[in-house]
Structure 1
Amino acid sequence: MTDQAQNTTTTAVAATPDGQTPPLQPEAAQPRSRRKRLWSALLFGAVALAGVLIVLYAWQLPPFTSAIESTENAQVKGQVTVISPQLSGYVFEVAVRDFQFVKQGELLVRLDDRIYQQRLEQALAQLATQQAALANNQQQERSAQATIAQRQAGIGDSQAQAQKAAADLRRSQALITDGSIAQRDLDVARAANAQARAAVEQAKAALEIARQDLRSVVVNRQSLKAAVANAEAAVQLARIDLANTRITAPRDGQLGQIGVKLGAWVNSGAQLMALVPDTLWVIANMKETQMADLRVGQPVRFTVDALDHAALTGKVERVSPATGSEFALLQSDNATGNFVKIAQRIPVRISIDPDQRLAERLRPGMSVVVSVNTVDH
C-alpha cells in the first residue's frame, strides 16, 4: 500500500547523462497546458468568426440583410431657370447683384428701348391708316346704297316716260288713218317711244351697276378688316417687343452670378443669369437590385455632405419610368461586342419634409446619402 500511494503522487525519474536526477513535476501541470492551448484556439476562432460577421454585416449579406436601401449616388435638385432676353440690344440697366433674392416681376435687366418704342409708334400709325380706310369703305357703302335708291327712282321715271311715249304712239297711229297728222309726226312718236323704252333699259342697267358697286364695297370691306386686324397684331407685337426690353423675374427665388454688364450688347437667347426658386427635392439614383421593395410614400432619411452630414427626412415621391441610360444622349447597344452586365440606375424623386430647420440651407447640386426604409409603408 505504501508503494502504491507513493507511485500516485510522484512520477518516474530517469538519470541524466551526468548521473543526476531531474526534479519531479506534478501530473496536474499537463492538463493546464492543454487548457491553455484550447483557450487560444477558441479565442482565434472567435476572432475569425467576428471578422466574418463584420464583413457580412458591412455588405448586408445574410443573415444581416436590411430593409434599408441606401445610395451615395444622390443630389439635391431644384428648378434652376436660365434668364435670357427675347430681343437683341444694348444693356441699359442692370438692377440686381450676385446671389440677390428677388420677387416675381422684379426688374432684372433693361435693354435700350428707343428702337422698339419707334416701332410701336410706326405700328400705331399704320393701324390708324387702316382704320381710316375701313371707315371710308363704310362711307362708300352708304353712298352705294344711295346710288341704288337713285337708280331705282330713275327706273320709275323712265317707265313713266315710256308709258307716255307708247300712248302718244297709239294716238298718232289712230290719227294717221284719217289724215289728221302727217307721217312725220307718226315717225316722231315712234322714235320717242323707242327712246323711252331704251331709257327704261338703261335705267335698269344703271341700277345693276349700282348694286354691283355695293357688292364690291362689301367685299373690299373684308380685306380692309383683315388689314386692320393685321395692323392691330403688329401693334401688339410692337408692344410685346417693347415690354421684353424689361427682363423681369419669372418667380420668387435667388439669383446666381450675374453674367451681363452695363452697356454690353446681348443677343436673343444669351444667358444673362440663373434664378433658383426655393422649391427643392432630392434625386437618388438607385440600383435596379434595390427596387424590389421600394414604393412611393416610403420614408427617407438623407444626410448632406455640405452640412457636416446633418440628417433630414423626406418621402419617396415618384419613380422614373425608365433607367437613366434610356435617357442618355448616346444609347448603348448591348447586342454588339462583348457584353458585361452592369447594374442599371433608376432615378427616384424624393420630396423634402417641410418645417425642417436645415432645409433652408440646401442648395441644388449638393451631394447627399439617401436611405429608404422599404418596410415602413
Structure 2
Amino acid sequence: MSDEKVDAPKPEPEIPAPAPEAQAAAPASATPADPQVDPPSSWRPPDKSPTAVIAIVAVAVLAILAILYAWNLPPFSGWSEETDNAYVRGRVTIISPQVSGYVTRVPVQDFAEVKAGQILATIDDRIYRARVAQAEANVAAQQAALANSAQAQRSREVATDSQNAGIANAQAQLTKADADMRRARALVADGSISTREFDQTRAALLAAQAALQQARASRAIGTQDVRTVVVGRAGLEAAVESAKAQLRLAQIDLDNTIIRAPADGQLSEIGVRVGAYVTAGTQLLSVVPHHVWVIANFKEAQTGNMAIGQRARFSVDALGGVELTGRIENLSPAAGSEFAVLKADNATGNFVKVAQRIAVRIKIDDKQPVAARLRPGMSVEVRIDTSGGSKR
C-alpha cells in the first residue's frame, strides 16, 4: 500500500440564487411581447374650457396691474404722489404771563378742555392795585392843575378889563391936561398967569401922557399873562393825558394778573404751581385748539402736477393706519431750506444735488368723526391725486 497522500477535490463555489423579483422579471423579458397587451402611455391633464383660460389670463393681468399700481410704475406713474414726511399741525399757543409775581391760583388741570376767556391762573395783584390807585391820584392832580389854569385865565382876563379901565382913565386925564395946557399958553402970553403956574400945567400934561403909556403897558402885560396861561394849559392837558396813559398801563398790568385762555381748546400739562414766582415770558402751559391740518413735505420733483383743490388721502400711524381725506389748501411759497436759519452755501466745488422739500398744506374734510382724535405732531402718510384741481 502506498504512503502517497491523495489531495481531496476542492468544492465548487456556490452561485447565489436569483431573487424572486429577478426570477419573475426574467421570464417576462425573455418572453416576447404579447400583441394583445396595450403599450404604456404618459399622463395628460384634461383640456380647459375657453372660459377658464380667459379667467386665468384676467387674474394674471389684474395681478400685474396691481403690482404696477403699488410700485407707481407706468401706466400708473404720475397719477398720484405720496410721502411719509408729513405731520398733523395746529395752532399751539404757549401761555406766558406779562407781569411778574407769585402765582396765587391755578384752577385748571392737565389736559382739561377750556373755553375762550376761562381763567387759567392768577398772580398776586396787590402791588398792581396800588399802582392803579397811584395812577388815579396822579390823574386827579393833573386835572386839578388844568382846572386851576382855567381859573387863572379867567382871573387874568378880569385883570385885563381893569387895565382897560385904567387906560380910559389915563386918556381922560391926558385930555384934561392937554386942555389946561392950551389955556395956559394963552394966559401966559398976556401975563395973566405966572411962569410958575405955566410950568405946573405943562408938568401935569407930561404926567398924564406918561400915565396913559403906563396904563397901555399894563394892558399889554395883562394880555401876555392871559396868553401865558393859555399856552401853559396845553402842557397841563398833555400832563393829564400822560397821567391817564399811566393809569391805563397800570390797569393793563392789573388785568394781566389774571391769565385767561385765548381760545377754545385743550390744555397741555400744567407747568406752574401755586406759590411759584414767575416772570414775564415764563412758559406756564399751552393751549391746543381743535382745528388741525396736515403739512406734507414733498420732494420738489413731486410737486410739478400739484394744484390747490386736488384730493388727498392720508393714514395716521397713531390711529392704527386709519385713512382720512382732505384737499390741498395751499403750497409753500419757497422750499424749506429757504426758511432755515443757517442756509447751505457750498462754495468748495464739490456740489451734490439734494432734492428740496416743498411743504403742502392739506385741509381735512369735515364730517369725519375719527378726525377729532388727531393731535398736532402726529405722523401721517399722504397720497395726493394729481389728476385734478386747478394748477397754480
TM-score (norm 2): 0.82
Unaligned 5+ runs, structure 1: 1-19, 33-48
Do 2:296 and 2:362's aligned partners in 1 also have CA atoms closer than 8 Å? yes
In structure 2, the partner of 1:264 is 276
Task: State the Cα distance separating 1:147 from its structure 2 match.
Answer: 1.4
Closer/same/farther in 2, CA of residues 232 and 197 from structure 1, 3 Å limit? same
In structure 1, the partner of 2:133 is 121
Q: Distance in 1 between matches of 2:283 and 2:207?
A: 84
Q: Distance in 2 between matches of 1:104 and 1:366?
A: 25
Secondary structure of the residue aligned to 2:162 is: helix
Q: Alignment partner for residue 105 of structure 2, among 66, 85, 93?
A: 93
In structure 2, the partner of 1:238 is 250
Q: Does 1:191 align with 2:212?
A: no
Q: Distance in 2 between matches of 1:277 and 1:250?
A: 10
Secondary structure of the residue aligned to 1:371 is: strand
Amino acid at match of 1:235: L
Q: Deviations over 1:333-365 (max 9, x none)?
A: 244352222221111000000111101111101
Task: State the Cα distance separating 1:315 from its structure 2 match.
Answer: 0.4
Q: Distance in 1 between matches of 2:383 and 2:201?
A: 118
Q: Distance in 1 between matches of 2:202 and 2:255?
A: 79
In structure 2, the partner of 1:211 is 223
Q: Distance in 2 between matches of 1:99 and 1:50?
A: 50
Task: State the Cα distance separating 1:274 from its structure 2 match.
Answer: 0.3
Task: Show the 5 A alignment for 1:68-107.
Answer: 68-107=80-119
| Segment drifting more, 256-265 vs 334-343 | 334-343
| Segment drifting more, 63-72 vs 94-103 | 63-72
Q: Does 1:252 align with 2:264?
A: yes
Do 2:78 and 2:386's aligned partners in 1 also have CA atoms closer than 8 Å? no
Q: Deviations over 1:75-101 (max 9, x none)?
A: 110000000011111111112111111
Q: Distance in 1 between matches of 2:249 and 2:318?
A: 48
Q: Distance in 2 between matches of 1:60 and 1:340?
A: 26
In structure 1, the partner of 2:149 is 137
Task: State the Cα distance separating 1:51 from its structure 2 match.
Answer: 11
Q: Distance in 1 between matches of 2:183 and 2:245?
A: 71
Task: Show the 5 A alignment for 1:1-377.
Answer: 58-65=70-77, 67-377=79-389
Amino acid at match of 1:116: Y
| Segment drifting more, 329-338 vs 229-238 | 329-338
Identity %: 54
Closer/same/farther in 2, CA of residues 340 and 51 from structure 1, 3 Å limit? farther
Secondary structure of the residue aligned to 2:251 is: helix
Unaligned 5+ runs, structure 2: 1-28, 34-38, 45-60
TM-score (norm 1): 0.85
Closer/same/farther in 2, CA of residues 371 and 84 from structure 1, 3 Å limit? same
Q: Distance in 1 between matches of 2:209 and 2:83?
A: 105
CA RMSD of aligned residues (A): 2.5
Task: State the Cα distance separating 1:145 from its structure 2 match.
Answer: 1.1
Q: Distance in 2 between matches of 1:98 and 1:320?
A: 35
| Paired positions, count | 341
Secondary structure of the residue aligned to 2:341 is: coil
Q: Distance in 1 between matches of 2:357 and 2:190?
A: 125
In structure 2, the partner of 1:44 is none
Closer/same/farther in 2, CA of residues 57 and 372 from structure 1, 3 Å limit? closer
Task: State the Cα distance separating 1:200 from its structure 2 match.
Answer: 0.4
Q: Distance in 2 between matches of 1:84 and 1:335?
A: 43
Task: State the Cα distance separating 1:58 from its structure 2 match.
Answer: 4.8
Amino acid at match of 1:134: L
Q: Deviations over 1:279-330 (max 9, x none)?
A: 1000011111211211110111111111111111100000001111111122
Q: Distance in 1 between matches of 2:326 and 2:64?
A: 34
